[in-house]
Structure formats: structure tokens, C-alpha cells
């Protein structure tokens, strides 16, 4: 902290120290300058930018997909629901898909029941972002993590009926 000094005197001090005079805050009155090694300063700033980019990549969350079948066994179902819950806790969105094979296509109501059951089992931590809908030979639904905020006096969530005619 040298105080307010003329620019030429500041340049002279910087040259004597073998460093650079760097303008830190040009909009201040008078402008604020610092005597430092400018190359080292630029290097440190680039490192900070890289770290910030790396941190932002870590927080990016993708969509995970869990696939079911209409006649899924109980243990398989529970395992897949547990994986779904873990993905939701980590902040990922989860795409639930149920593919019909062969004659299963004639009993689509069984597929909708499986998806509804998953939604009910994950209801405490998941919010439905896309209702289950039939797309071709599969049923697709999208859920995300329920926000940690309380509902603020909103009416309690009621179970929504899911019709198999949605597309």
C-alpha cells in the first residue's frame, strides 16, 4: 500500500522491482494499480478459470434411464427402484421406460401398473416431470428430485390417475 502516487512514479517503482504495473480496477477514482509479475498473474487467473470450469462440469446432472418389463420379478423391481432412488438422491433425473415384447403388447395395463407402482414407491423423493405415456412399444415417464422446500401451505399431493391412452 503505497497510496495515491503519479503514474510515472509508479512505473519507476515497478521497474526498480523488476515487476509490472497492472491496472486492477480501472473504473475506480483514481484507478487502482498493483505492482506484480503480470505473467504469473495471467497464469494464476487461467488456473482459476480451469478450476471453475471443472467444478461446473461436476455439478452438471444428466438423465439416467431405468428399464422395466411388464412381467418384472419382485427382486428385480426392488433393485431397480433402489437404483432409481440413488440416482435421484445424487440429483439426476430418471427416465423410466417399460418396453413391451411380443404378446405383452396386448396387456398394456400391466405396464402402466408397473410404472405407477414405481412412481408411488419414489413419491417421497421424486417429482413427476413427465407423466407416463405410451410411445410406440414402450411407456416412458420422467422424474426428478423433489425440491427440499416445503410446499408452503399448498394442498397435499394427490395421486393422479394415469390413463393408458396418453401419447
Q: Domain 63-145: give its CATH superfamily.
A: Translation initiation factor 3 (IF-3), C-terminal domain (3.30.110.10)
The CATH number of 7-58 is 3.10.20.80
Over the stretch 110-122, which tens digit does the pLDDT of each residue have?
Answer: 999 999 999 999 9
Over the stretch 22-39, which tens digit does the pLDDT of each residue have?
Answer: 888 888 888 888 899 999
Count how many residues are written for the chain: 167
Over the stretch 81-115, which tens digit does the pLDDT of each residue have?
Answer: 999 999 999 888 999 999 998 888 888 889 999 99
How far apart (Å, rounded) are the C-alpha atoms in residues 115 and 111?
Answer: 6
Task: Kindly list the domain boundaries of the chain, sorted by start residue.
Answer: 7-58, 63-145
Amino acid at each position: 500500500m503505497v497510496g495515491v502516487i503519479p503514474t510515472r512514479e509508479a512505473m519507476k517503482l515497478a521497474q526498480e522491482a523488476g515487476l509490472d504495473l497492472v491496472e486492477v480496477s480501472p473504473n475506480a477514482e483514481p484507478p487502482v494499480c498493483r505492482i506484480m509479475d503480470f505473467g504469473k498473474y495471467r497464469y494464476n487467473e487461467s488456473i482459476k478459470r480451469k478450476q471453475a470450469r471443472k467444478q461446473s462440469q461436476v455439478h452438471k446432472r444428466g438423465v439416467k434411464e431405468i428399464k422395466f418389463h411388464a412381467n418384472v420379478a419382485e427382486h428385480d423391481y426392488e433393485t431397480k427402484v433402489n437404483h432409481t432412488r440413488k440416482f435421484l438422491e445424487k440429483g439426476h433425473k430418471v427416465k423410466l421406460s417399460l418396453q413391451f415384447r411380443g404378446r405383452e403388447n396386448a396387456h398394456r395395463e400391466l405396464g402402466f401398473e408397473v410404472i405407477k407402482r414405481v412412481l408411488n414407491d419414489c413419491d417421497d423423493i421424486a417429482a413427476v416431470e413427465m407423466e407416463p405415456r405410451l410411445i410406440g412399444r414402450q411407456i416412458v415417464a420422467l422424474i426428478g428430485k423433489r425440491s427440499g422446500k416445503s410446499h408452503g401451505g399448498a394442498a397435499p399431493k394427490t395421486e393422479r390417475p394415469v390413463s393408458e391412452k396418453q401419447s
